[in-house]
Amino acid sequence: MASTAPLCAHVRPGFNPSLGPAGMTGVPALTLFEKIWDAHLVRRLDDGRDLIFVDRHVLQETTSAVAFENLKRAGRGVRRPELTLATQDHIVSTAPGRDEATNPGGRELLALMRANAYRHRIRHFGVDDPRQGIVHVIAPELGLAQPGCVLACGDSHTSTVGGLGALGIGVGTSEVEHVLATQTLALSRPKPIRVRFQGRIPPGLVAKDLILRAIGALGVAGGRGSAVEYAGSAVEALPVEGRLTLCNMSIELGARLGFVAPDEKTFDYLRGREFAPRGPAFDAAMAAWRSLHSDPGAAFVRDVAIECDRLAPQVTWGTTPEDVAGVDDRIPDPASYGDAGRREAAAKALRYMELAPGVPLEGLPIDIAFIGSCTNGRLSDLQAAAAVVRGRKVAPRVRALVVPGSMAVKREAEALGLHEIFRDAGFEWRDAGCSMCVSINEDVAPPGSRCIATSNRNFENRQGPGSRTHLASPATVAAAALAGRIVDIRKEARA
């Protein structure tokens, strides 16, 4: 890429065949992935795939309706409804005080989710339930996801729960049906790879900047067929919610799975949550969770290091998440790419984004600022944004919205007075849902508008037909909302 940023990612080619210290005693050194996967292996299938037991199955309304319909047609039931949890998040209205009818376009799928959950006696946290929220926000916050568990969901961002040391598997609707009917998945075994974030995260930067940098370095297909373990000093330093953000965007690396080894922070996070173990069971769990790490010398198919010390806040400029640069960089010249396909794709992206090569990212005017999504809709994300916003005003003509990732996040934020900070500044303060990340409800960016967003995809038309998206961290999005243009939050802090 044409970026002037120091090249801070290098690939250590390397398959490490040694068994390491554990190997000396005759026990093979295992990766965290292998430990969890193998504990869930029901059987290796004749076709080479593995049949994996699913401990938790989370449903959302847009990818489950057809699964239930097909199940009914085949005369099949739900094998373990107690291990299943449903919510409504994708197509719900986020208008404060909404119900299932507020967004008329969503009525059919919302009603189907409710009816299917009722018929099969599946827990359903719909828009009328205080526990409603985005699947990947509520699974951790309810303690449904735990270290060492396998959680499946018909949504590509299911790897989010990897932030707790769980294997979150995103699947399609046929596989949702397969899990409903059998509580298992037949999957090709992913290859373990490791991404180590080394050094210290500069002040003001967060997990979002780290994962965007990794996607820029490895590309959107870099993790295909892989189970990515995120490790290194910067990951150890991240709070649990930051690790959830990091793992959330594993699919933007093309990876099947993404996770972080659990530690004391993980255990503290889970203690007391609704579906977490309690009392002596929690202590027993903790003892077992402590063994959930990759053994020294465990073999990774690929081991990548990313240096964080000099990382700049990351902002995307194109139409895939790998089109990313430091906020102090300029838009790259497509001609600078060696690969013809990449050159063509970058040129097309710039045409769509209405951007010219060489223009600084900093200073680009924006029309909309969106804070929310399963990537950055948690309390710490709203706190980071509120810290920037406090006492200031959204720029004229900018639409700025905060959509908490769950109703629990919304309540916690309100208890801290964050809603006042946002509202006083001119932000909309909405109810929980996927909102302008997938724009399948009424939260749509108009054609030609430029939106800076804390979400995860900057595809063409993602936030609405003709909309243009720049992905960034909550603080960077909040600062852009105030300035009406993309700004470098490091300068703001110094000013």
Partner 1 sequence: MRRPVSTVVGTLAAMPAPNINTDQIIPSAWLRTATADLGNGLFGSQRYDEAGSERPDFILNQPGWRNARILLAGENFGCGSSREAAVWALVQFGVGCVLAPSFADIFYENAFRNGLVAGVIDADAFEDLRRAAAAGPASYAVDLASGTITGPDGTRWAVSVPASRARALMRGDDEIAITLAMQPEIDAHFDRSRAATPWLFPESLMERPSR
Binding mask 98-137 for partner 1 (x = CB under 8 A): -------xx-xx--x-----x--xxxx-------------
Dist CA 405 CA 120 (whole Å) = 27
Task: List binders of partner 1 among 66-95 (CB under 8 A).
Answer: 66, 69, 74, 76, 80-83, 91
Stretch of 22-30, 129-137, 184-192, 471-479 contacting partner 1, by CB under 8 A: 184-192
Q: In whole angstroms, how close is the CB of 50 to partner 1 at the nearest point?
A: 12
Contact yes or no for 301/226 (Cβ under 8 A)? yes
Instruction: Extract the runs of DSSP E, i.e. beta strands, from 173-242.
Output: 184-187, 191-198, 226-231
Helix (H) or strand (E) holding 303: strand 302-307
Nearer to partner 1, 115 or 493 (CB): 115
Tell me the CA distances in angstroms from 457 to 215, 377, 433, one per residue in order.
Answer: 12, 15, 16
194 binds partner 1 (CB under 8 A): no
Min dist CB 350 to partner 1, Å, is: 15
How far apart CA 259 and CA 23 sit, in angstroms, is: 24
Q: Using CB under 8 A, which residues numbered 313 to 342 contact partner 1?
A: 320, 341-342
Please give the helix or strand (H or E) that residue 257 lies within, else none. Answer: strand 257-259
For residue 31, the SS3 value is coil
Residue span binding partner 1 (CB under 8 A) among the ranges 4-12, 170-178, 353-361, 365-373:
170-178
User: 338: which residues sit within 8 A by CB, 6+ positions away?
Assistant: none
Check binding of 409 to partner 1 (CB under 8 A). no
Q: Is residue 46 near partner 1 by the rule CB under 8 A?
A: yes
H or E element at residue 376:
helix 373-376
Q: Is 146 in the site for partner 1 (CB under 8 A)?
A: yes
Task: Name the residue nearer to partner 1 (CB basis): 152 or 407.
Answer: 152
Report the alpha-carbon distance of residue 164 to residue 241 in Å, rounded: 9
| Choices 126-134, 201-209, 357-365, 460-468 (CB under 8 A): range interacting with partner 1 | 460-468
User: According to CB under 8 A, which residues from 334 to 393 bind partner 1?
Assistant: 341-342, 344-345, 348
Return the structure tokens found at 322: 């790998």
Which residue(s) pair with 168 in the sheet? 151
Of the residues 221, 356, 359, 415, which one makes contact with partner 1 according to CB under 8 A: 221
Nearer to partner 1, 425 or 436 (CB): 436
Q: How far is the CB of 263 from partner 1 (least distance, A)?
A: 17
Choosing from 31, 63, 88, 93, the residue that interacts with partner 1 (CB under 8 A) is: 63
Binding of partner 1 by 249 (CB under 8 A): no
Residues facing residue 370 across a β-bridge = 401, 453
